[in-house]
Amino acid sequence: MPEKIEVKEQKEYHPKCPHCDKVLSQIFFHKVRTVGMTGIGYLAVYSCPYCKVALGTSANSG
Ligand SMILES: [Zn+2]
């Protein structure tokens, strides 16, 4: 397994939702207050605007 992964910007196309297969020109996020994660008060949950499936999360201290 490689120790590093190269991150590249892709400008040729927008990502697609893995659930409804629609091209995502926008992504919704929901600021969710968390309990049980010390030091992190909020989590951002990203969702597809078409089918509402959660696409991912990220820690958000703000
Ligand atoms: Zn979708």
pLDDT single digits (tens) 25-53: 999 999 998 888 677 688 899 999 999 99
Domain boundaries defined on the chain: 28-60
Percent of the chain with pLDDT over 70: 90
CA–centroid distance, 52 to ligand 1, in Å, is: 6
Q: Terminal CA-to-CA distance of the chain, rounded, Å?
A: 34
Q: Evaluate whether 45 touches 28 at the Cβ level (below 8 Å).
A: no
pLDDT > 80? residue 60? no
**CA 2 to ligand 1 center in whole angstroms:** 31
6 CA distance to ligand 1 middle (Å): 27
Task: Tell me the whole-structure pTM to 2 decimals.
Answer: 0.74
Q: Ligand 1 centroid to 43 CA: how many Å?
A: 20
Average pLDDT, the chain: 90
